[in-house]
Amino acid sequence: MENLKELLQAIESATNLKEKELRANLIGRVIASKDFIEAIQESVKSGIFLDYGYDGENEYSFENYNEIDGTNSVLETLEKYLL
Protein backbone atom coordinates (compact mmCIF):
# COMPACT_ATOMS: atom_id res chain seq x y z
CA MET A 1 0.00 0.00 0.00
CA GLU A 2 2.91 2.33 0.71
CA ASN A 3 4.20 1.86 -2.85
CA LEU A 4 0.82 2.92 -4.24
CA LYS A 5 0.85 6.05 -2.10
CA GLU A 6 4.35 6.91 -3.33
CA LEU A 7 3.30 6.30 -6.93
CA LEU A 8 0.22 8.51 -6.54
CA GLN A 9 2.33 11.26 -4.98
CA ALA A 10 4.82 11.07 -7.84
CA ILE A 11 2.04 11.31 -10.43
CA GLU A 12 0.42 14.14 -8.48
CA SER A 13 3.64 16.15 -8.50
CA ALA A 14 4.08 15.52 -12.26
CA THR A 15 0.51 16.45 -13.18
CA ASN A 16 -2.23 18.83 -12.10
CA LEU A 17 -4.27 15.96 -10.66
CA LYS A 18 -4.63 15.59 -6.91
CA GLU A 19 -4.19 12.26 -5.08
CA LYS A 20 -7.94 11.97 -4.51
CA GLU A 21 -8.64 12.35 -8.24
CA LEU A 22 -5.90 9.85 -9.09
CA ARG A 23 -7.31 7.28 -6.66
CA ALA A 24 -10.81 7.76 -8.11
CA ASN A 25 -9.44 7.36 -11.63
CA LEU A 26 -7.53 4.21 -10.68
CA ILE A 27 -10.51 2.65 -8.90
CA GLY A 28 -12.76 3.53 -11.85
CA ARG A 29 -10.39 1.80 -14.25
CA VAL A 30 -10.22 -1.30 -12.06
CA ILE A 31 -14.00 -1.49 -11.71
CA ALA A 32 -14.49 -1.07 -15.46
CA SER A 33 -11.89 -3.71 -16.34
CA LYS A 34 -12.99 -6.96 -17.91
CA ASP A 35 -11.00 -8.98 -15.35
CA PHE A 36 -12.75 -7.31 -12.42
CA ILE A 37 -16.22 -7.70 -13.93
CA GLU A 38 -15.60 -11.40 -14.65
CA ALA A 39 -14.19 -11.94 -11.15
CA ILE A 40 -17.27 -10.36 -9.54
CA GLN A 41 -19.59 -12.42 -11.74
CA GLU A 42 -17.78 -15.62 -10.76
CA SER A 43 -17.89 -14.59 -7.09
CA VAL A 44 -21.64 -14.13 -7.24
CA LYS A 45 -22.07 -17.45 -9.05
CA SER A 46 -20.06 -19.22 -6.36
CA GLY A 47 -23.07 -18.95 -4.05
CA ILE A 48 -25.23 -21.07 -6.40
CA PHE A 49 -25.64 -24.72 -5.51
CA LEU A 50 -27.85 -27.62 -6.55
CA ASP A 51 -30.57 -28.41 -4.03
CA TYR A 52 -33.33 -31.01 -3.99
CA GLY A 53 -37.01 -30.81 -3.21
CA TYR A 54 -39.84 -33.26 -2.92
CA ASP A 55 -43.39 -32.49 -4.01
CA GLY A 56 -45.01 -35.51 -2.37
CA GLU A 57 -44.52 -37.70 -5.41
CA ASN A 58 -41.27 -36.81 -7.09
CA GLU A 59 -37.90 -35.57 -6.05
CA TYR A 60 -36.57 -32.77 -8.22
CA SER A 61 -33.44 -30.65 -8.33
CA PHE A 62 -33.26 -26.88 -8.48
CA GLU A 63 -30.64 -24.19 -8.14
CA ASN A 64 -30.52 -22.42 -4.82
CA TYR A 65 -28.34 -19.59 -3.57
CA ASN A 66 -26.24 -19.39 -0.43
CA GLU A 67 -26.09 -15.65 0.27
CA ILE A 68 -23.32 -15.99 2.83
CA ASP A 69 -20.97 -17.87 0.48
CA GLY A 70 -21.76 -15.54 -2.41
CA THR A 71 -21.27 -12.42 -0.30
CA ASN A 72 -18.01 -13.67 1.21
CA SER A 73 -16.68 -14.48 -2.22
CA VAL A 74 -17.58 -11.00 -3.53
CA LEU A 75 -15.90 -9.40 -0.51
CA GLU A 76 -12.73 -11.43 -1.14
CA THR A 77 -12.74 -10.30 -4.77
CA LEU A 78 -13.17 -6.66 -3.76
CA GLU A 79 -10.28 -6.99 -1.32
CA LYS A 80 -8.10 -8.55 -3.98
CA TYR A 81 -8.73 -5.83 -6.54
CA LEU A 82 -9.22 -2.71 -4.44
CA LEU A 83 -7.20 -3.06 -1.24
Q: Where are the domains of the chain?
A: 1-32, 34-83
Whole-number pLDDT of residue 24: 83
Is the model's pLDDT at 74 over the cut of 60?
yes
| DSSP string over the chain | -HHHHHHHHHHHHHSS--HHHHHHHHHHHHHHSHHHHHHHHHHHHTTEEEEEEE-SS-EEEEEEE-HHHHHHHHHHHHHHHH-
Q: Is the pTM of this model over 0.75?
A: no
What is the average per-residue pLDDT within 58-63?
Answer: 92
Task: State the pLDDT confidence band at 76, using cuts at 50, 70 and 90.
Answer: very high
Per-residue pLDDT tens digits for 18-40? 777 777 888 888 899 999 999 99
